[in-house]
Amino acid sequence: MSLFFLLNTSIANAQSIAVQKKIKNVFLDSSEVMNLLKSTNENELTASSNEEEEGNTTQLYVPSVLNASRDLFANTAAFHFGVRRFKPKGFSPSFTQVFLNGLPMNQLTDGIAPWSSWSGLNEVMNNTISVIGLKENNLSFGAFGTASYIDLKAAHLRPQTTLTSAFSNRNYQYKLAFTKVLPLNKNGWALAFQFSYRYGNNSVMPGSYYAAPAYFFAIDKKINEHLLSLSLMGSFVTNSRASAVTQFVHQLAQSDNYNPNWGIQQQQKRNANMQTLHYPLLMLSHEYTINDEIKIATTFGYSMGQKIITGIDWYKAPDPRPDYYRYLPTFQTDSVLQATIHQLYVDQPELLQINWNRFYQVNQNSFEVINEANGIAANSMSGKRSKYIVEDRVEQHNKIMFASSLNQQITERCTFSANVQYQRQSVRYFKRVNDLLGGDFYVNWNQFADDQTIGTDALQNDVNVPNRILFVGDAFGYDYSMILQKLTGSSQLNFQTNRVDYFAGIEVSTASNYRIGNVRNGLFPLNSFGKSSTDRFNSVALKAGATYKYNGRNYIYMNAGWMNKPPFINNYYLSPRTRDARHPNSTNEKVVSVDVGYILNAPLVRFRLNSYAAIFSNGISLMSFYHDGYQSLVNYAIGDINQLHIGTEIATEIQLNARWRLNSAIALGKYVYTSRQTYNITIDNQDYISEQGVVYTKNFPVPGTPQRAYHVGFTYQTPTNLLFSITGNYLTDYWVSFNPIRRTYDAMSNVPTDINIGTITNPEKLPDVFVTDLSAAYSMGIGKTKSGTYKSLQFFLSVGNLFNQSFKTGGYEQLRYDVANGNLDKFPTKYYYSQGLNYSLTIRFRL
């Protein structure tokens, strides 16, 4: 993969190193390289994006820096450190921002950019400017991580006719894409469109499925100084999901591709955990170039759509998950039983998969009579009441966006920009019956409340319609909406002197959120239904910096920023599925960040060094899980999260001779929690804080990313425009996300005396990993078009994990913990495993 990047930089340096002369064929230009690069990466990266519902605090790795086309370090990190979900500087993905035609795309709910909602449209999405870290920026205030500005106006896209196809053994197996961009014609019209389709079924990962049509249309009209653009885009992605498994189950299943989510149904592999998402986005933009000095760009956006994740729900029946801890040999105390069960799983590995036929059998035998059905006194329903169903967990989004920016060149050396952005997002969350699996109906009852309170309304998921009988398509369980708004104003000034460039920026924003309950929950009848009160947060961010230009090749810079930012609703609503209770200390989080660096751009050597420090304070988070001590679902509200991230990134590229190039990158980071965090527990069927205390987390490493990573790569280029690249990547200091319960005073009181307390409290590190990747590319000319440009046929092969190693790519400690006995083997850490050797071959006609 890095090959394209290298190709890219080689082109940048082409003239000085006289490679170009020897190339008879058409070479790949930089934007084409980036296209291919992204299309292959996207495939791999989505493969590692199966977050687990249960308590996985590591966020899914977002390939934002893919677009950092000019940054030596960011490229390497994105393409080679991704196997272990490397996060630059250890920053959470919410510090990365994405703008389409100037519209802020990050979700207001969790701050994460919904990359998959426009995946598969690489040929048009590559028109990107990325601002890494606290750099100066004319487009908006930017982000503390990376801000990517993607321009989708037809008039600004690269004119092309392209047919791309790919074959891979990663998430999808086939891809086909067709792209056409017609530049502005003499009447002032420009047109662009792309269609793509990606598909995979039972690839290397059994039970996997992938189908994703994607589309993009844009039409522009230029009238004098005005450019009007209209675009519509979307990606309709359906894919199977994989779950993390414990090391023991991984060994038992004897496969890196083991996924407990699927099972055989009528000779077909059916996955219970599917995700479908489609968020079509409509944008109307207006660009007004008043004169050479002043430009105003405005965009309205509207997006609506939904994400559906399927899963199995059950009522008064054994847990359907085949890797449930009670079903494993380790659960047995008797050695004979242990051995018998172990052997059984070895002989019949299908027992480690979902048993769909059993669900049908159970449902077909489950005859029941429900009295007062739907809350009507004399109404009774009889029939097969399903004990297992497939449910849809639905998120319906509705989003209005507006952004306007003013750019002014005040003097030749001074630019000023001002921005206004507004987002309003409403999200409805509910569950829906997808498949009754052979039964006649399901009932809207909460089985956790069931055994607590007999003869009351507590078990009703909706007191307004008690004993509701459910058929396919009916909403059930929780049902609520979140209404979020954010208004932001920002301004930035860039100023250049002969030797030094300065900049300073400020951003002010105000956000408000509230919840609307669509059902009245039986456990919380008083604060589950209707509109909650509104929370408002005002926040400010500042940044400033200077670059000392020693000469045209050597630069030294220092940038600093300070911000406070409101917590995300996902972190401060304690249990939005049942009620409107909030986190006790939901106030702004504070971040201070400083970057200092040196850049060398010489003809044969490029070098970049960046040192950074970031301090996060007053963070909060929330975890919901089954607590063994309380024997109930609990909400663990963590507060006072303070973090320190310091480190250095170094990237080097050396042109050894006309054929060989050497690349290296080093990320040295140290990300730690600097405080003891506090926790409050609320139990899901009681409405008060049951317990509070301290989590002993001081000096704990921040999990979910390798803190240190090393990369070295060699590229060889033949005179016939064939490229080979081999890279080695060493990823270390990856810590799995930890369970706070094990770091509390309470947990310590139950630790058996013969156990060293450290085994319970110390965080866990994944073994270091060294991965080798290989890539090759070839491009050949196939004639000229009428307009005289070259047509080409391009091949690109990337092979990841060349030596087919098995290693853990990530993991998390289960939040369920055996409080009574301190037995870590009962609910051990769960891991994700690498796929093994993986490849992708892309063939492209550029006409």
Partner 1 sequence: MRLYYKKLIYAYSLFCFFIGFLGCLKKFDQPETYNGNKLHPTESIRELREGHIPGNTEKLSDNQIITGIVTANDATDNFYKTIVIQDSTAALTIRMDAFGLAADFPLGKRIFIRLNGLWLGEYGGMLQLGGAIDKTDPAYPELLPIPTPLFTKIFVHGLVEKLPEPLLVHFGELKDSLQSRLITIDSVEFAASDTAKPFADVINKVTVNHTLRICNGGSLYLRTSGFASFAALKTPRGNGKITGIYSIFGSQKQLIIRDTFDVNMDGLRCSGNGSRQLFYDDFESIPVGNNLLINGWKNLAEAGGQLFGGQMAATNRYATISAFATNQSSVVSWLILPSINLNATANEQFSFLTKDAFDNGASLQVYISTNFDGGVFPWKAKWTLLKSVIAKGSVSGIASKWISSGNISLNNYSGNVHIAFKYDGSDVPSTINKKTTTFQIDEIKVMGN
Q: What residue ranges bind partner 1 (CB under 8 A)?
A: 163, 165, 174, 176, 178, 197, 199, 201, 209, 211, 265-268, 270, 314, 316-318, 326-329, 331-334, 336-337, 340-341, 344-345, 351, 355-358, 360-362, 364-367, 387-388, 438, 451, 454-455, 782-783, 791, 845
Least Å distance, CB 751 to partner 1, is 23
Least Å distance, CB 786 to partner 1, is 10
Least Å distance, CB 745 to partner 1, is 28
Least Å distance, CB 471 to partner 1, is 16
CB 239 within 8 A of CB 209: yes
Compute the distance between CA of residue 126 and CA of residue 35 in angstroms, rounded to an integer.
6
Least Å distance, CB 322 to partner 1, is 9
Least Å distance, CB 155 to partner 1, is 27
Q: Which is nearer to partner 1, 206 or 693 (CB)?
A: 206
Least Å distance, CB 380 to partner 1, is 16
Consecutive H or E run containing 662: strand 660-673
- Tokens representing 262? 């699927």
Angle between helical axes of 30-47 and 2-12 (0-180°, round to 10): 160
Contacts 24+ apart (CB under 8 A), 254-260: 254/349, 256/806, 256/833, 256/834, 256/835, 256/836, 257/204, 257/205, 257/206, 257/833, 257/835, 257/836, 258/352, 258/833, 259/205, 259/206, 259/207, 259/208, 260/321, 260/322, 260/323, 260/352, 260/353, 260/354
Q: Which is nearer to partner 1, 219 or 249 (CB)?
A: 249
Taking the alpha carbons at both ends of the chain, their separation in whole angstroms is 24
Q: Which is nearer to partner 1, 161 or 512 (CB)?
A: 161
Q: Which is nearer to partner 1, 210 or 616 (CB)?
A: 210
Least Å distance, CB 36 to partner 1, is 17
Q: Which is nearer to partner 1, 176 or 658 (CB)?
A: 176
Amino acid at 164: T
Please report, for residues 67, 231, 302, 330, 750, the alpha-carbon distance to residue 335 in angstroms, rounded to integers and kept in the order given: 55, 65, 61, 10, 26
Helix, strand, coil: what percent of the chain each, to 5?
15, 50, 35
Neighbour tally for 464: CB within 10 Å: 13
Consecutive H or E run containing 608: strand 605-627
Least Å distance, CB 833 to partner 1, is 23
Q: Which is nearer to partner 1, 473 or 783 (CB)?
A: 783
Spatial neighbors of 495 by CB under 8 A, at least 6 apart, are 413, 414, 501, 502, 503
Q: Please tell me the total number of residues recorded for the chain in this structure.
A: 847
Main-chain dihedrals φ then ψ at residue 341, nearest 5 degrees: -70, -40
Q: Which is nearer to partner 1, 251 or 762 (CB)?
A: 251
Compute the distance between CA of residue 461 and CA of residue 447 in angstroms, rounded to an integer.
10
Least Å distance, CB 212 to partner 1, is 10
Residue 665 Cα to chain centre, angstroms: 24
Least Å distance, CB 348 to partner 1, is 8
Least Å distance, CB 845 to partner 1, is 6
Q: Which is nearer to partner 1, 25 or 109 (CB)?
A: 25
SS3 per residue for 202-261: CCCCCCCEEEEEEEEEEEEEEECCEEEEEEEEEECEEEECCCCEEHHHHHHHCCCCCCCC
Three-state DSSP at 120 gives coil
The 830-833 sheet, strands edge to edge:
245-246, 830-833, 808-812
Q: Which is nearer to partner 1, 223 or 454 (CB)?
A: 454
Residue 203 Cα to chain centre, angstroms: 22
Q: Which is nearer to partner 1, 107 or 194 (CB)?
A: 194
Least Å distance, CB 354 to partner 1, is 12
Compute the distance between CA of residue 122 and CA of residue 101 in angstroms, rounded to an integer.
16
- Tokens representing 623? 């975890």
340-344-347 Cα angle (round to 5): 135
Compute the distance between CA of residue 25 and CA of residue 12 in angstroms, rounded to an integer.
17
Amino acid at 266: Q
Least Å distance, CB 667 to partner 1, is 38
Q: Which is nearer to partner 1, 357 or 398 (CB)?
A: 357
Q: Which is nearer to partner 1, 104 or 438 (CB)?
A: 438
Compute the distance between CA of residue 795 and CA of residue 810 in angstroms, rounded to an integer.
32
Least Å distance, CB 318 to partner 1, is 5
Q: Which is nearer to partner 1, 217 or 327 (CB)?
A: 327
Main-chain dihedrals φ then ψ at residue 340, nearest 5 degrees: -60, -45
Q: Which is nearer to partner 1, 209 or 557 (CB)?
A: 209
667-705 b/e (C-beta count within 10 Å ≥ 16 → b): bebbbbbebebbbbbbbbbebebebeebbbbeebbbbbb
- Tokens representing 617? 């304070």
Main-chain dihedrals φ then ψ at residue 337, nearest 5 degrees: -65, -40
Least Å distance, CB 565 to partner 1, is 41
Q: Which is nearer to partner 1, 111 or 234 (CB)?
A: 234
Compute the distance between CA of residue 389 and CA of residue 472 in angstroms, rounded to an integer.
10
Q: Which is nearer to partner 1, 377 or 454 (CB)?
A: 454
Least Å distance, CB 163 to partner 1, is 6
Q: Which is nearer to partner 1, 163 or 689 (CB)?
A: 163
Q: Is 623 left (phi over 0), alpha (psi -120 to 50) or beta?
A: beta
- Tokens representing 12? 């940048």
Burial of 551 (0-12, 13-18, 19+ CB in 10 A): exposed
